[in-house]
Structure 1
Amino acid sequence: MMTRQDKPKTTRRERRVWQSMWGMVGAAVALTVIAIVVALLQSRTEGHAHSFFKGMSLGLLAALPVGMGYMLWRTYRQMDEFAQRQQERACAFAFLLSMVATMVAFAVASYANVVVPLWAVYVFGMVMYTAAVVRGAVLAKGGK
């Protein structure tokens, strides 16, 4: 008589995705902790040590986009073709809306003498990217 075999709880692909995601989270947490320690040390020092920690802070800020870009590229390379296309569409959508928001913010800032912070445009772009990824996941599952 044949016995019923249970499916594994997670597939190999799901484990890879989780490893990549936790790797990115771990790197972000480590970088945040290092940046906080450097900022605290910078605020408590004077003279040459202060200059050293200020340089370290600038170095961390300069390395952040390069490190995140590398991790995102590595994660993208581990995705299957469907997930890659989904991420490309989400990035294109978020980029388009971010550029439109930047154009509108520039017009409003020049007309009304209002300063629009760069972080607001960044947060808007990331929210649009997240919305596009969620929409793609819902459509992939057969939702409307």
Structure 2
Amino acid sequence: MLVLGEGESVALALDAGADDAVTAPANAGEIAARLAARVRRAPAPLIIGPLRIDPVERSVTREGKAIRLVAREYGLLLHLARHAGRCVSRAELLAVVWALRFDPGTNVVEVHMSRLRAKLDRGFTAPLLLTDRGKGYRLVSET
């Protein structure tokens, strides 16, 4: 964000939610250095077997094939990928992906997991997303 004025304006911009700010007129070298620093801090793609998840681009591929996911499906997959190989409970998914600390009494998790599973495994023989009956869901960590 580019702001007019002094350091106080930068502080106000940051307090308002900006990730970064510089005052005008801006120095091109400083902006380039700030951008380079942000790129260095960007999270690396997660690679779990044939699955590649890029958190910066919010893209998913399996064996190079692009998989289009809606926001909730992506959130589910990202959480499962960060805990690959571990059984993640329905309650944990509700808390992390839906920000719910209670059971809404619906099958919202099951519906989204079914759709995610269909998208991840369509056209492939080995399933990546497994259900541990009565416990939760698990993303296969090795194939």
- TM-score, structure 2 normalization: 0.29
- TM-score, structure 1 normalization: 0.29
Structure with the higher fraction of residues in strand conformation: 2
